[in-house]
Structure 1
Amino acid sequence: MAGLTKKIAMVLGCVAAFGVATPTLSQGLAGAYLAGNQANRDNNYDQAAKFYAQALARDPNNPYLLQNALISFVGKGDVDRAVVIATKVASGQFGGQLADLVLTADAIKRGDYAEAQAILKDGEDRFTPLLHGLLSGWVALGDGKMTAAINAFDDMQNPTVLRLFGQYHKALAVASVGDFDTADRILVGDENGNLRLNRGSLIAHAQIMSQLDRKQEALDLLNGALRGTSDQGVATLRDAIADQGVVDYTYITNAKQGAAEVFLTLANVYDRDQQQGDVRYALIYARLAEYLRPKYAEAVLLTAEILQDQKQFDLATKSYASVPQDDPMFLNAELGRSDALVEAEKPDAAIEVLRGLTRSHGDVPRVHMSLGDVLRGQERYSEATAAYDVAVDMIPDPAPNHWFLFYARGITHERDGNWEAAEADFRRALELNPDQPLVLNYLGYSLVEFGLKLDEAQAMIESAVAARPNDGFITDSLGWVLYRLGKFEEAVAPMERAVQLVSNDPIINDHLGDVYWMVGRKREAEFQWQRALSFKPEEKDADRIRRKLDVGLDAVLEDEAKNETTLSNDN
Structure 2
Amino acid sequence: MEVPIIRICKISAFGILAVALAGSAAHAKRSSGAEGLNQYVEARLAESVDNPAVAAAIYADSLKSQPDNLLLAGKAYVKAIEAGKFDLAVKAVRSLDLRGQVEPEMPFLLFADAFARNDYKAAATASIELEALGNFAFLSPFLDAWIARATGESPLIGLAAAEKDKTAAYYHLEQFILQGLAGGNDLDIIPLLDKIVEANEARMGPVRIIAARHFLARKDTARAVALLKNERTGPEAKMLEDIRSGNIKKLAQKVNADIGLAFLFQRLSSDLRIQRADFLALIGAQAALRILPNNDYGHLVLGEAFSESQNGRAAKSEFKKISYDSAFSLLAISKEIASYAEENDYDGGQVRLNQIIDQDPETPQLQILLGQLLQMSGDHRSAADAFKRAISLAERRDFSDAVLANYWLSLGSAQEQAGLWPAGLESLKKANILQPDSASILNYLGYAQLERRENTASAMDAIRKAYKMRSSSPAITDSLGWAYFIVGEHEKAVNYLERARAGEPQDPTINEHLGDAYWTVGRKYEARYAWKSAKLFADAEDMQRLADKIDLGLRADLVSP
Judging changes above 3 Å, is the alpha-carbon distance between structure 1 residues 91 and 430 closer, same or farther for their aligned structure 2 residues?
Answer: same
Q: List gaps (5 residues or longer) in structure 1.
A: 175-181, 559-571
* AA matched with 1:250: Q
Q: How far apart, in 1, do the equivalents of 2:498 and 2:413 lie? A: 27
Measure, in 2, the Cα distance between the counterparts of 1:120 and 1:547: 64
Q: Which residue of 1 aligns with 2:86?
A: 79
What amino acid is aligned across from residue 18 of structure 1 in structure 2? A
Deviations 1:537-560 (A, max 9, x none): 545x555556667776557589xx
Q: CA deviation at 1:76?
A: 2.3
Counterpart Cα distance in 2 of 1:362 and 1:448: 37
Hey, what does 2:239 align to over in structure 1? 234
The one-letter amino acid of 2:177's match is: Y
Q: Are 1:70 and 2:77 counterparts? A: yes
Alpha-carbon distance between aligned partners in 1 of 2:550 and 2:156, rounded to the nearest angstrom: 79
Deviations 1:350-384 (A, max 9, x none): 22222223222333221111111111122211111
Q: 1:19 to 1:44 in 2, by over 3 A?
A: farther
Read off the aligned partner of 1:234 and give its amino acid letter: M
Q: CA separation in 2, counterparts of 1:199 and 1:521?
A: 51
Q: Using a 3 Å threshold, how does the CA distance of structure 1 residues 131 and 186 change in structure 2: closer, same or farther?
A: farther
User: TM-score, normalization: structure 1?
Assistant: 0.76
Q: Deviations over 1:103-136 (max 9, x none)?
A: 3333333344444445546766348566434444
Query: Do the aligned residues in 2 keep the contact of 1:495 with 1:511 (CA within 8 Å)?
Result: yes
Change (3 A) 1:152 1:425: same
Say which is worse superposed, 401-410 or 460-469, in terms of deviation: 460-469
Cα distance in 2 for residues equivalent to 1:59 and 1:227: 53
Instruction: Report 1:539-550 matches (<5 A).
Output: 539=541, 541-544=542-545
* CA shift for structure 1 position 84: 2.0
CA shift, 1:46, in A, is 4.5
Match of 2:112 in 1: 105
| DSSP 3-state at the match of 1:125 | helix
Higher mean C-alpha displacement, 442-451 vs 160-169: 160-169
Paired residue for 1:482?
A: 484
Structure 1 residue 213 displacement after superposition: 4.9
Preserved contact between residue 443 and residue 462 of structure 2 (Cα < 8 Å)? yes
Q: Work out the CA distance in 1 between the residues paired with 2:391 and 2:337.
A: 21
1:95, CA displacement in angstroms? 3.9
Identify unmatched segments of 5+ residues in structure 2.
none
Match of 1:17 in 2: 12
- Residue 406 of structure 2 corresponds to 404
CA displacement 1:23-69 (0-9 Å, x = unmatched): 32559999998999999999985477468669868964243652453
| Distance in 2 of aligned mates of 1:80 and 1:389 | 48
- Counting matched residue pairs gives 535
**Alignment of 1:94 onto 2:93:** no
> Is structure 2 residue 68 aligned with structure 1 residue 61?
yes
CA distance in 2, matches of 1:195, 1:468: 26
Give the structure 2 partner of residue 563 of structure 1: none
- How large is the RMSD of aligned CA atoms in angstroms? 4.5
Q: Would you say the 8 A contact 1:547–1:556 is kept in 2? A: no
Q: For residues 511-553 of structure 1, give each alpha carbon's deviation from its aligned partner in whole angstroms, at most 9, with x where no partner exists.
A: 44544444455666566666655656545x5555566677765
Q: Which residue of 1 aligns with 2:140?
A: 132
Cα displacement string for residues 308-351 of structure 1 (whole angstroms, at most 9, x for unaligned residues): 23333222112112334565543332222011211222222222
Aligned residues of 1:232 and 1:329 also touching (Cα < 8 A): no
Match of 2:435 among 428, 433, 451: 433
Deviates more, 1:124-133 or 1:327-336: 124-133
**Structure 1 residue 270 displacement after superposition:** 4.8
> 1:472·1:499 contact (CA, 8 Å) conserved in 2?
yes
The answer for the alignment partner of 1:295 in structure 2 is 294
Are the counterparts in 2 of residues 117 and 136 from structure 1 also a CA contact under 8 Å?
yes
Secondary structure in structure 2 of the residue aligned to 1:394: helix
What is the alpha-carbon distance in structure 2 between the residues aligned to residue 506 and residue 191 of structure 1? Answer: 45
State how 1:449-488 maps to structure 2 within 5 Å: 449-469=451-471, 471-488=473-490
Give matches, 1:346-357, under 5 Å.
346-357=345-356
Do residues 187 (structure 1) and 182 (structure 2) align? no
- Alpha-carbon distance in structure 2 between the residues aligned to 1:96 and 1:283: 15
After TM superposition, the structure 1 = structure 2 runs for residues 5-404 of structure 1, keeping only pairs within 5 Å, are 5-6=3-4, 17-21=12-16, 22-23=18-19, 24=22, 46=53, 49=56, 60-63=67-70, 65-120=72-127, 125-126=132-133, 131-139=139-147, 145-146=151-152, 148-150=153-155, 156=161, 158-159=163-164, 164=173, 167-174=176-183, 182-189=184-191, 198-199=204-205, 201-210=207-216, 213-222=219-228, 224-226=229-231, 229-231=234-236, 234-235=239-240, 238-239=243-244, 250-252=253-255, 258-259=257-258, 261-272=260-271, 278-325=277-324, 329-396=328-395, 398-404=400-406
Residue type at the aligned position of 1:315: A
Letter in 2 for 1:285: G
Counterpart amino acid of residue 305 in structure 2: I
Asked if the contact 2:130/2:137 (under 8 Å) is kept, the reply is no
* 1:564 corresponds to: none
Of 127-136 and 298-307, more deviation after overlay is shown by 127-136
Q: Quick one: structure 1 residues 435 and 219, their matched pair in 2 at CA, closer, same or farther if it must change by over 3 Å?
A: closer
Following TM superposition, by how much is the alpha carbon of 1:236 offset from its aligned partner in structure 2, in angstroms?
6.8
Identify the residue that residue 448 of structure 1 maps to in structure 2.
450
Deviation at residue 299 of structure 1 after TM alignment: 0.7
Assess, with a 3 A threshold, how the Cα gap between structure 1 residues 43 and 231 changes in structure 2: closer, same or farther. Answer: farther
AA aligned to 1:90 is D
The one-character-per-residue Cα deviations of 1:479-534 (angstroms, maximum 9, x if unpaired) are 43333323344434344555555555555554445444444556665666666556
* Percent of residue pairs bearing the same amino acid type: 24
Q: Give the greater-gyration-radius structure (CA).
A: 1
Paired with 1:186 and 1:415, the residues of 2 have a C-alpha distance of 54
**Against the structure 1 CA distance between its residues 430 and 41, is the aligned structure 2 distance closer, same or farther, given a 3 Å change threshold?**
farther
* Structure 2 letter corresponding to 1:443: L
CA contact (8 A) 2:268 2:284 kept: no
When residues 65 and 236 of structure 1 are mapped into structure 2, their CA distance, relative to the original with a 3 A threshold, is: farther
**For the residues of structure 2 that align with 1:99 and 1:542, how far apart are their CA atoms?**
49
Structure 1: distance between partners of 2:531 and 2:222: 66
For 1:512 and 1:99, the matched residues in 2 are separated by 51
* Counterparts in 2 of 1:452 and 1:230: CA distance versus 1, 3 Å: same
Distance 1:370 1:103 in 2: 40
Aligned mates of 1:511, 1:150 — CA distance in 2 = 60
- The answer to whether the 8 A contact 1:73-1:81 is kept is yes
Q: Distance in 2 between matches of 1:535 and 1:191?
A: 47
- Partner secondary structure for residue 226 of structure 1: coil
When residues 233 and 20 of structure 1 are mapped into structure 2, their CA distance, relative to the original with a 3 A threshold, is farther
Residues 105, 524 of structure 1: CA spacing in aligned structure 2 closer, same or farther, 3 A cutoff? closer
Indicate how the Cα distance of structure 1 residues 461 and 33 shifts in structure 2: closer, same or farther if over 3 A, else same. farther
Q: Distance in 2 between matches of 1:528 and 1:52?
A: 51
User: Could you tell me how far apart the structure 2 residues matched to 1:430 and 1:471 are?
Assistant: 19
